[in-house]
Amino acid sequence: MTWVTSEPTPSPDENPNDLSGPSRPVTPEPDTPADAPNLPPIDETPEERERRLAELVAQEELEALAALEAAPIDLEAEPPVDPLADTSPVRAIQTEDDEAGLPMWRRAVGLGMVLLAAALTFVAGLILLLPLLRATPQPTEAALQPTATVPIPATVAPGDAAALPALQPTLSAEQISALLATPPIDLNPTGVAIARSDSPFTIIPERSRAEVISYTIQSGDTISAIAQRFGLEMDTIAWSNDSQTVFSLRPGNELVILPVDGVYHRVLVEQTIQSIADQYDVDPYAIINSEFNDLFGSTPERVLPSGTRVVVPGGTSTATDWTYNPVVERSSAASGASGADGTIAFAPGQPGSCGAQPNPGGTGYFANPLGSYNWVRGFDAYHTGVDLDAPIGTPVFASSAGRVIYRGWNNWGYGYMVALAHGPFTTIYGHLNGINVSCGQLVGAGSLIATTGNSGNSSGPHLHFEIRYNDIPVDPTAYVPF
């Protein structure tokens, strides 16, 4: 192993580049410098080298430890500055002085950012959880319904099948196949959307009436409409009220409405329950046991005083002439619509009857008896004509050519009335104010015969117009285009 030493530094007087000067003596290199460490021998084996290096490391560590123990520790001494270290470190803990110097706006901005971050975190969590909440299965109606349980014996012997109840199918295989093969029913064949109207009112179902009530007649009422409104037969309305009230139906008048079909009987003189039952062809106990009569515990022989009103459930009356059906006397029947044969007397004995008059025959064609009017009431079984509203004094014209067979006052409720004969037909004009014809007079179609009024059982100025064929009322609208 060869050691190399540095050459000595030349003096200032010597020029190192001057090669012409006298040569310097060369000092021979010593074999081992004074400060050289223990160098390993050249012929050192690898094992010896490793062992020697370990001894050197151990020796250096011992020397460093001894130096630390011997040197005094100055806690206040400032450590040496490392040129490679950070010269402006950030302190992890903020002091009160630093916090006091922080501007208020920076504090507000920091708080706002914290709140915004919290809100964004909450929204993100809600978005993540929402699909899980929607996917949660909801209980169905079938699951909420209690299921029927089949009682099973507490102890069942093995093989004892008779102890268990047999569960039979509700439908046979054929019925199930038939139902599946049946095409569905189209509940809306028109294809129009079915709209449901919202109503804020409570719908009260119809209930049977428990007593006799009174109904005030309204303008435009008819017997058929009133009967239909209360679920009764029209005869029940007629048999329970005065014929004049039923015939005129004057607004403001009152009708008796029974809770059931039948007759409302008035006892005029003392009368037994049995005799009332015989009159209306019912069992007497139908009257006694009726909840509408205070007769429980009575016998058929009980005598009811005058003025008593009794409901006769299911009773029928022979008084079917509550509509105006005057007596008409013909000497012989007219042949055909235009036949003129014999005489005719309309309501003989009434103040305005003209007695027997020659029947002139007729054409069977009829015109409107008024020039201007308002339709008020039509024809039905309990209203034998039509009512046409018109002011008092409006001219009334003959609907067809004929002869006057009645003129004057009528006791049945028509007031002042005119009747004309037209062969098998007759026409009636009621509630008049003035009459312009005389008995037996022949008039042509469209001739002025009277003026409208409010006489008789009338609810207001109007004309009551009728057409009768063979003395039976018919619907005038079948002949006249009102």
Give the pLDDT band (50/70/90) at residue 476: very high
Phi/psi for 57 (5° steps) reads -65, -40
- 17 token code pair: 């580049």
- 3-state class (DSSP) for residue 142: helix
From 236, 248, 243, select the one nearest 212 (Cα to Cα): 236
Please name the residues in contact with 312: beta carbons below 8 A apart, sequence gap of 6 or more: 262, 263, 264, 265, 276, 277, 280, 282, 286, 287
pLDDT at 412: 77
Phi/psi for 260 (5° steps) reads -140, 165
Pairing of strands 328-330, 357-358: unpaired
Instruction: Count CB-CB contacts under 10 A for residue 139.
Output: 7
pLDDT at 336: 45
> What Cα–Cα distance (Å) separates residue 240 from each residue in 37, 74, 220, 317?
151, 131, 21, 10
Which helix (H) or strand (E) covers residue 415, if one does?
strand 415-422
Give the pLDDT band (50/70/90) at residue 22: very low
- 112 token code pair: 């706002």
Q: Which fold has domain 213-313?
A: Membrane-bound Lytic Murein Transglycosylase D; Chain A (3.10.350)
Per-residue pLDDT of 369-385, as tens digits, reads 999 999 988 887 667 89
Q: What is the mean pLDDT of residues 313-320?
A: 75
Which residue is listed with tokens 């003989």?
348
pLDDT at 200: 52
Cite the DSSP H helix spans in 223-348. Answer: 223-230, 234-239, 243-248, 273-280, 284-288
**207 or 117: which leads in pLDDT:** 117
Which helix (H) or strand (E) covers residue 325, if one does?
none
> Which range is least confidently modeled, 70-79, 124-133, 439-448?
70-79
Boundaries of every domain in the chain: 213-313, 328-478
From 392, 411, 405, 400, select the one nearest 450 (Cα to Cα): 392
Q: Is 123 exposed, middle or buried (0-12, 13-18, 19+ CB in 10 A)?
A: exposed
pLDDT at 12: 46
Pairing of strands 442-443, 462-469: unpaired
pLDDT at 164: 53
Distance from C-alpha of 170 to C-alpha of 442, rounded to nearest angstrom: 84
> Which range is least confidently modeled, 208-222, 224-238, 266-280, 404-418?
208-222
pLDDT at 100: 57
pLDDT at 2: 44
From 336, 328, 330, 333, select the one nearest 362 (Cα to Cα): 336
Give the pLDDT band (50/70/90) at residue 222: confident
The superfamily in CATH containing domain 328-478 is Glucose Permease (Domain IIA) (2.70.70.10)
CA angle 435, 436, 442 (to 5 degrees): 115
CB-based contact 27:6 (threshold 8 Å)? no
Give this prediction's pTM.
0.43
**78 or 408: which leads in pLDDT:** 408
Q: Please give the single-letter amino acid code of residue 389.
A: D
- 3-state class (DSSP) for residue 231: coil
pLDDT(444) > 80 = yes
pLDDT(118) > 70 = yes
**In the predicted model, what is the mean pLDDT of the chain?**
78
pLDDT at 323: 58
Q: What is the mean pLDDT of residues 451-469?
A: 89
> Which range is least confidently modeled, 26-35, 193-202, 330-339?
26-35
Distance from C-alpha of 43 to C-alpha of 400, rounded to nearest angstrom: 166
Which neighbouring-strand residues pair with 313?
262
- 3-state class (DSSP) for residue 121: helix
DSSP single-letter state for residue 453: B
